[in-house]
Amino acid sequence: MQQSRLDHSRLGQVIVNPNLATPNDPDIFALGDCASVMLPDRESPLPTTAQAAYQQSVYLGRTLPTILEGKPVPPFRYHDFGSLVSLGGYDAYGTLGRFGLFRGGFLHGRMAQLGHALLYRRHQARIYGPVRGSLLWLADTLDTSVRRRERLA
């Protein structure tokens, strides 16, 4: 069995082409944090974020059957939808991507908290399915409403 040599970035990520295949062996694919994806319209590799990994997984899931048939596929395209960070119940901040409805901008406070909560619940629905994800949301909501609030003096 012949061994393939995989090229790595200085961060140890596997270098891949815009179709997420390695340059030396088109039968090996990498995505997410372990992949260094350099796209033609960018000056640096894609960020190692869940957003980028999710988009790569959707792309590979859709194009892999075509690739296995030996047909050409369009290169992966990344869309930056922004990012949100929640500071617990205290505060939240976010930036809006330059793709889609908002074309950039900054979120702070309740709107950012709501956006973060919705993204979290969407993630749960993807993992557990829509019914179980909704039940988890309901259980969390009920738990929050019946739990006694403790105050530290």
Domain positions in the chain are: 14-68, 82-146
Angle between helices 130-146 and 110-128 (to 10 degrees): 130
How much is the pTM? 0.71
Cα(59)–Cα(135) distance, rounded to whole angstroms? 29
Q: Tell me what pLDDT residue 34 has.
A: 92
pLDDT on residue 56: 94
Q: What is the average per-residue pLDDT within 20-44?
A: 89
The answer on pLDDT for 89 being more than 70 is no
Nearest in space to 20 (alpha carbons), one of 32, 7, 10, 4: 32
